[in-house]
Structure 1
Amino acid sequence: MNPLAPLLDLADVAPALAAARDRVDAAMRHRALRRHGGQVAAEASLRAAVASAALEGHAYDLEEVRGGTVTDPVVQGALRVAESLGGLVDLWPRAPRQVLAKLHVLAGRGVVPPSELGRLVGGAERIDALSALVADCPSPDRSDTPPLLLAAVVHAELLTLRPFAGPSGVVARAAARLTLINRGFDPRGLVAVEVGHRLREPEYVGAAGAYATGTPDGVRSWLRHYAAAVTAAADELTVIGDGVLASV
């Protein structure tokens, strides 16, 4: 049995996830992506990194980061993580723990002691269970899991566990993005869900805390937030596309 299937029965969750997917599908038809997809993807990656660092309490102006004047190690780590995602997509379902460790090395450099980089500080059993969900599996009972649902659970589990020292939230958000890319929801890495979380930060924090309680209402709160954040990210993709067209 698909272990995540019951979550789709929580009130309003399935419609919210479906509506978010529809919004993303519409944004993916932006005409900027026909000829300038690489430029759009690069801008989305930058905005995702800046938002992810901000959610760790290290907020900086986007243009300052773009200009290279921000040396904050958490921001620099988030940028390294964002740049690495394309090279980790195929490895993610084959070796999730290895990828998580790599993400932490990239995010935590200059923030935590070198001896702590890539090393779990707790939550090993739940990380193993999460890895089993992420891992490639030919069984049909896993293949029908909506990518948004899986990404939301990956994100929330890692936020709850905080299994690494330092900027563990950067790792959680990157792992969720990897899930969306690998599962074909966002194969080009255009949907900066981190921006959606940042725009709804009080809700993001509250919903993550609700998920951590393990109650059905808490999980439902998180999944509904995740759908809203993805919807906001789809709107951001449209904004990026419009900006790219205006600049060419």
Structure 2
Amino acid sequence: MSTTADPLAALGALPGVADSVDSVRKAVDRVYGHRVMRRRSNEITSEAALRGARGSAALSGADWALEEVRRRTDFSGDGEERTVGAALRLTAEAGQFLSIWRQSPLRVLARLHLVAAADSTEGAGRPRLHGEPVDEPLIELPVPDAGEVAGRLEGLSQLIIAGSEAPALVTAAVVHGELASLRPFGSHNGLVARAAERIVLVGSGLDPKSICPAEAGYAELGRAAYVAALDGYASGRPEGMAAWIAHCGKAVELGVRESTAVCEALQRGAA
């Protein structure tokens, strides 16, 4: 497939992107090679899901301590509680959509929004219509109208269905960036975007056991850095796109560091 017919592969050729891809692959390979992963990978996966949910919720305005997220069981209260609950539901259920993502990505996105909204939001599970507002903490980019959203969602869907020779990091970064900047739903767009990125990273085989929570990495890098990198993606300029992909790569590497620390703790018998 040529880069002309495969625009994601063209992004992979941007300056610095190959270095990010290589660095991520080496980091992921190291944590998968940890001796604890041979015996207790399910525990690492569960902990990564929790840490990823906490990180994603933090980026959407609910910056709770990890142990508070671990302890709580009722998330039906105020806005922050609902945000944390939505993030936990998404990380818990995203894996079931791996088999249909490549065939029907728009169906998966609709389902992810239903999971996040818990069917309590008007318009849950469908892209917003003309004139409908967007409630999205943190992201302050101009909001595309419903017509542009529909067209770009269809374009993204076709890219995913067609497949690409681009590295998984590039595809995941584009899916995340496009959804976060488009904000196709009336709410929970950031949470959905990061869950979709997780599906790409797992389904591509880069992180098949889902132990590298990029969401935790984004939270560690900070909301200001996230917004600045997303602005670069939304600009459409090559340097902005490359910077966004690099930011996503750093987040994955920080997620790897989280899981490596968990592996070390389990090895010492401290967790």
- Is the contact made by 1:47 and 1:62 (CA closer than 8 Å) also made in structure 2? yes
The code of the aligned residue for 2:235 comes to: T
Residue equivalent to 1:20: 24
- C-alpha distance after superposition, 1:54-76 (max 9, x if no partner): 10011111111111256211111
The corresponding residue for 1:124 is: 150
Deviation at 1:5, TM superposition (A): 2.0
Alpha-carbon distance in structure 2 between the residues aligned to 1:176 and 1:17: 15
User: 1:85 corresponds to which residue?
Assistant: 94
In the alignment, what sits opposite 1:64? 68
Gaps of 5+ in 1: none
**Structure 1 position 18, deviation (Å):** 1.1
Gaps of 5+ in 2: 76-80, 129-145
Query: Secondary structure of 2:209's match?
Result: coil
TM score, norm. by length of structure 1: 0.92
Size of the alignment, in residue pairs?
A: 241
Residue type at the aligned position of 1:129: G
The answer (yes or no) to whether the contact 1:40–1:244 under 8 Å persists in 2 is no
Cα deviations by residue, 1:125-178 (Å, 9 ceiling, x for unpaired): 11111111222x4xxxx4422111100100000011011111110000000110
CA contact (8 A) 1:49 1:82 kept: yes
Give distance in 2, aligned partners of 1:70 and 1:203: 31
Percent identity, aligned pairs only?
38
What residue in structure 1 maps to residue 36 of structure 2? 32
The corresponding residue for 1:109 is: 118
Q: Distance in 2 between matches of 1:70 and 1:206?
A: 34
1:34-67 CA distance string (max 9 Å, x none)? 1111011000001101110110011111111111
CA distance in 2, matches of 1:21, 1:177: 15
Corresponding residue of 1:44: 48
Amino acid at match of 1:118: G
Conserved 8 A contact 1:64-1:70: no
Question: Partners in 1 of 2:174 and 2:12 — Cα distance?
Answer: 12
- 1:177 and 2:212 matched: no
Question: How far did 1:87 drift?
Answer: 0.9
Q: Deviations over 1:203-222 (max 9, x none)?
A: 21110011111111211110
Q: How does 1:1-248 map to 2 (within 5 A)?
A: 1-68=5-72, 71=75, 72-109=81-118, 113=121, 115-121=122-128, 122=146, 123-135=149-161, 137=162, 142-201=163-222, 202-245=224-267, 246-247=269-270
Tell me the alpha carbon deviations over residues 104-133 of structure 1, each in whole angstroms, 9 at most, x when there is no partner. 1111227x62x3111101311111111112
User: Is the contact between residue 9 and residue 164 of structure 2 (CA under 8 Å) also seen in structure 1?
Assistant: no
Return structure 1 stretches of 4+ with deviation > 2 angstroms: 243-248
